[in-house]
Chains A and B, each alone.
Chain A
């Protein structure tokens, strides 16, 4: 009995962590590269979830296929937002002023998107059934859709890691993460890489949302908790560190699941905000210790 409990925690924790990994990777890409602390990150997850829900319930589209819609659409939205809002906000001024400015813009975006979703889909819970038949793994029983969602999320995260490692564009992104001025000197088109990475970050969030819509009921308020989680993961895993984000997400998923299994579910929100505050106090040097 004891072993089953731990197996359940392990499987369920890794699945939760796999989903966190992709959201966190998206945030890391925005923050690690251009210092945009996008608190509206989770709102794109919420929008992705709603778009998938709408496509599935209106036209019966396969939820997994909707990723081909939400991903590219979110990428395009990211490019536009970067051009309209952040590219302008990040001109002139000290880094601190610019970070504050882009944070305020992100908060404005959060309000705008959340209330747009409330207008479009109302505050009622929405959901659908897909692949919910139970599956048995290592003694733990869980619905198949959770395994599918986590595998796709983790797979996309690792694929992005491979892309960073092997392609020329990936090298340019890594160079930018390490040293902006140096990257500019060797002829990397900084604004273009920034815009593309912002788009990819948003797309990762939206795609995760599409996956999550198979698992949980949707509300327009579901985004912010994921933003907080992603922030914690980015802090845990390190700024601009892709593998660190994935490892941090899996670790957080395990710890959180264990906490919920061993105590009660209403402790989760308190725990995530407490961890966030604690880490901020303990690691204040730009969080990641590199300036």
Chain B
């Protein structure tokens, strides 16, 4: 009883702090918190699909890029939150198609397929822009102000974490876990695995597209390189470093790696990405359950309980 109360108080405090933050912080720190919130949303969205189902998706960069590029193309013609909604819708639609196509693929084929599709989308877009429209990128005209952007991303991150928590507690979330454990058995038990899988994949993609759309105005210029495989990998590593057994895991992983990338990526780009590769190998070999499961194991607590 007391613990629940403590958690509610802590959450309310955190919420109040995050809402007040843009008015208290300098523009540098505001944009740092903004980037971290976006990372949290991406990692949590990735983990609520790929965690329980074990379908390793490398399409995050494609969904994120689709949202961002859409904002750059139509953003000036729509009132502010609408590009975010459009980004979410477009990414979800793409995920439905990809999901239905990739449905029968298991294990690494799904990963390779999603990775290939992201690259295909990028190169097709580059080709289209050069051949048909004659541009290689787009300027963002009249972007919304930084405070509006901050609250959009904050709302997305909060919505994403809430969705992940609710999903874990629902029968839909349980169905996802059963599919991850043994898909044939799940079908025998009467779970419509296609609907559950593709539906959740699309939901997760919607968040990724929305985050891409909301982050695009940070750059004044967007080109097809925004379909960046680094986004896909960074998201996977964030979620895995944190551990996908809980909702808190990806959040912690995103904060940790997000801070590291913010500090190191611009100054030591190659060294940072090299370390990222080593981190991925280390996580897979040494902490298959992620850092959060490692911490929980140290304290001798059950890993299967959601910590949200």
Chain B associates with chain A: yes
Bound Cα distance A188, B56 (Å): 34
A281→B101 contact, CB < 8 A: yes
Say whether A284 contacts B56, CB under 8 Å: no
Main secondary structure of the interface of B (DSSP, over half): helix
Kindly list chain B residues whose C-beta atoms are within 8 Å of the C-beta of A228: 116
| In the bound complex, CA of A37 to CA of B273 (Å) | 21
Contacting A at CB under 8 A, from B80-108, are 101-102, 104-108
Is B127 an interface residue when CB atoms closer than 8 A count as contact? yes
Whether the pair A115, B123 counts as a contact (CB closer than 8 A) is no
- Chain B residues within an 8 Å CB radius of A108: 277-281, 284
Q: How far is the CA of A116 from the CA of B127 in the complex (A)?
A: 30
Chain B, residues 263-295, CB within 8 Å of chain A (1/0): the string is: 000000011011011111100110010000000
- In angstroms, Cα B124 to Cα A89, docked, is 36
Q: Are B127 and A266 in contact (CB under 8 A)?
A: yes
Judging by beta carbons under 8 Å apart, are B107 and A111 in contact?
no
A270 contacts B by Cβ under 8 Å: yes
- Chain B residues whose C-beta falls within 8 Å of the C-beta of A105 in the assembled complex: 280-281, 284-285
Q: Is residue A160 contacting chain B, with contact meaning CB distance below 8 A?
A: no
A269 interface residue (CB < 8 Å to B): yes
Give the interface size class of chain A.
35 or more
Q: Which of A100, A112, A273, A277 contacts B281 (CB 8 A)?
A: A112
A263-291 residues at the B interface, CB under 8 angstroms: 266-267, 269-270, 273-274, 276-277, 280-281, 284, 286-287
- Closest chain B residue to A37, Cβ basis: B108
A-facing residues in B105-134 (Cβ within 8 Å): 105-109, 111-113, 116-117, 119-120, 123-124, 127, 130
* Residues A111 and B273 in contact in the complex (CB < 8 Å), given A37-B108, A100-B108, A103-B56: yes
- B138: Cβ under 8 A from any A Cβ: no
B interface footprint on A109-127 (CB within 8 Å = 1, 0 otherwise): 1111111101100000000
Residues of B within 8 A of A5 (CB): none
| Segment 227-263 of B: residues with Cβ below 8 Å from A | 233, 236, 240
Tell me if A136 counts as interface (CB < 8 A to partner B).
Answer: no
In the complex, what residue of chain A is closest to B101 when comparing beta carbons? A281
Q: Complex: how many Å from CA A231 to CA B119?
A: 15
- Contact A266 B130, beta carbon cutoff 8 Å: yes
A276: chain B residues within 8 A (beta carbon): 112, 116
Q: When chains A and B are docked, how far (Å) is the Cα of A88 from the Cα of B285?
A: 7
Residues of chain A lying within 8 A (CB to CB) of residue B277? 107-113, 115
Are B280 and A104 in contact (CB-based, < 8 A)? yes
> Within the complex, which residue of B107, B111, B278 is in contact with A112, where a contact is CB–CB below 8 Å?
B278
A100 surroundings in chain B (CB, below 8 A): 54, 56, 107-108, 111
B127 / chain A contacts, CB cutoff of 8 Å: 266-267, 270
Cβ contacts under 8 Å, B233 to chain A = 107, 111
Within 8 Å by CB of A111, from B56, B112, B276, lies B276
> Which residue of A is nearest B56, CB measured?
A100
Q: 1/0 contact trace for A208-223 toward B, CB 8 Å?
A: 0000000000000000
| Closest-CB distance, A272 to chain B (whole angstroms) | 9
Question: For the complex, is A96 an interface residue (Cβ under 8 Å from B)?
Answer: yes
Q: Tell whether A89 pairs with B285 under 8 Å between CB atoms, given A108-B277, A115-B271.
A: yes
Out of B109, B276, B279, B284, which one reaches A89, CB within 8 Å?
A: B284
Question: Which one, B101, B102, B108, B281, contacts A99 given CB within 8 A?
Answer: B108
**B127: min CB distance to chain A, Å:** 6
Q: What are 30 A-B contacts with C-beta separation under 8 Å?
A: A39-B112, A100-B107, A100-B111, A101-B284, A103-B56, A103-B111, A103-B112, A104-B281, A105-B284, A107-B233, A108-B278, A108-B279, A108-B280, A109-B277, A109-B281, A111-B277, A111-B280, A112-B274, A115-B273, A115-B274, A116-B270, A266-B130, A270-B124, A273-B116, A277-B116, A277-B120, A280-B102, A280-B109, A280-B113, A281-B101
Q: Mark B residues whose CB is within 8 Å of A.
A: 54, 56, 101-102, 104-109, 111-113, 116-117, 119-120, 123-124, 127, 130, 233, 236, 240, 270-271, 273-274, 276-281, 284-285, 288
The 9 A-B residue pairs whose C-beta atoms are closest, nearest first, are A111-B277, A108-B280, A112-B277, A108-B281, A115-B274, A273-B120, A284-B104, A115-B270, A103-B108
